[in-house]
Amino acid sequence: MYSTTEKALIASIWEKVMPHTEQWGGEALERLLAVFPQTKIYFKHMNTCPGSAAIRAHGGKVMKAIGSAAGDVDNMASTLSSLSELHAYNLMVDPTNFKLLSHCILVVLANHLPSEFTPEAHLAFDKFLASVAAILSHKYR
């Protein structure tokens, strides 16, 4: 459950991300692969070198999916349901990796939004990303 304040914080951070989904999503995924190189195993079919266009484009897709959840936090589970099936049944991504990606996304937001990313916004967005991760991991149970 999200309070009105948390929803407002998530919406206001998302509003700032929206014009940069591709760029910032790409940066988050690039950071994931650099800082946690064990995650490269899932992207063997792509060029995972720093600056890879494929990784940048994929990061954009991930960030857009996060945006669709941020637009309606009360209905995230249904918004993300097909992605949950994809990650559990087809891609078989170990759920630990969702936490690592969430961390990288928070770092990218803090980098780009030094004044807006207050401790309160950080807390609300971290809670939101933890919900996204929980939903994407749900089908493993």
Residues that bind ligand HNI (CB under 6 A): 39, 42-43, 58, 61-62, 65-66, 83, 86-87, 91, 93, 97-98, 101, 132, 136
Asked if 77 and 68 touch (Cβ cutoff 8 Å), the reply is no
Least distance in angstroms from the C-beta of 103 to ligand HNI: 11
How far from the centroid of its chain's Cα atoms is residue 62's Cα? 6
E strands of the chain, at which residues?
none
Task: Please state the closest distance from residue 127 (CB atom) to ligand HNI, in A.
Answer: 14
Q: How far is the CB of 113 from ligand HNI (least distance, A)?
A: 18
Tell me how far, at minimum, the Cβ of 121 lies from ligand HNI, in Å: 18
Burial class (CB in 10 A: 0-12, 13-18, 19+), 114: exposed
Residue type, 89: Y
Kindly tell me which of 14 and 98 has the beta carbon lying closer to ligand HNI: 98
User: Toward ligand HNI, which CB reaches closer, 2 or 43?
Assistant: 43
Residues belonging to the chain = 141
CA dist 76 and 22 (Å) reads: 21
Q: Residue with structure tokens 């749900």?
A: 138
Toward ligand HNI, which CB reaches closer, 34 or 91? 91
> Which one, 9 or 65, has the nearer CB to ligand HNI?
65
